[in-house]
Amino acid sequence: MFKLRSWRRREVLGVACAFFLFGWRAYAESCEKLAGLKLPDTTITVAKIETRETARTLENGTPGAPLMKLPEFCRVAGTISPVKDSLIGFEVWMPVTGWNHRLMAVGNGGFSGAPWVRFMGGALRNGYATAGTDTGHKGEVGDASFALGHPEKVVDFGYRSVHQTTLKAKAIIEAFYGALATKAYWDGCSSGGKEGLMEAQRYPADYDGIIAGAPANNWERLSASGVWIGQATHATAASYLPHDKLVILHEAALNACGARDGVIGDPFGCHFDPAAVLCKGKETASCLSREQVDAARKIYAGPVNPRTHEKIFPGLEPGSELGWGSFGEPPEPPITASHFKYIVFQDPKWDYRSFNFDSDLARGEKVDGGTLTANDPDLRPFFERGGKLILYHGLSDSLIAPRNTIAYYNDVVKTTGALAADSMRLYLIAGMNHCFGGAGLTDFDMEIPLVGWVEDGKMPTAVPAAHFPDGPPLRPDRTGALCPYPEVAKYKGTGGTNDATSDLCAKP
Residues labelled catalytic: 190, 397, 434
If phi > 0 it is left, if psi is from -120 to 50 it is alpha, else beta; for residue 471 that is left
Q: 186 pairs with which residues across the strands? A: 105, 210
| Bridge-based pairing state of the strands 478-482 and 129-133 | unpaired
Give the integer Cα–Cα distance in Å for 66 and 89: 21
Sheet holding 443-444, edge to edge: 443-444, 463-467, 478-482
How many other β-carbons are positioned within 10 Å of the β-carbon of residue 172?
25
Question: 408, 372 in Cβ contact below 8 A?
Answer: no
Nearest to 150 by CA among 137, 140, 139: 137
Amino acid present at 492: K
- Three-point CA angle 138, 140, 146, nearest 5°: 50
Nearest to 448 by CA among 431, 465, 435: 465
Give the integer Cα–Cα distance in Å for 326 and 54: 35
Q: Which residues contact 203 (CB under 8 A, 6 or more apart)?
A: 163, 166
Give the integer Cα–Cα distance in Å for 35 and 32: 6
Question: 312, 357 in Cβ contact below 8 A?
Answer: yes
The DSSP-derived string for 159-202 is IIHHHHHHHHHHHHHHHHHSS--SEEEEEEETHHHHHHHHHHHH
Q: What's the length of the chain?
A: 508
CA dihedral sign of residues 225, 230, 236, 237? positive
Quickly count helices (H) and strands (E) in the chain: 16, 14
Q: Backbone phi, then psi, for 365, in 5-degree steps?
A: -70, -35
Question: 109, 189 in Cβ contact below 8 A?
Answer: yes
CA 229 → CA 197, 232, 293, 404, 430, distances in Å? Answer: 26, 5, 13, 16, 22
DSSP state of 211: E
How many other β-carbons are positioned within 10 Å of the β-carbon of residue 36?
8
Give the integer Cα–Cα distance in Å for 466 and 350: 44
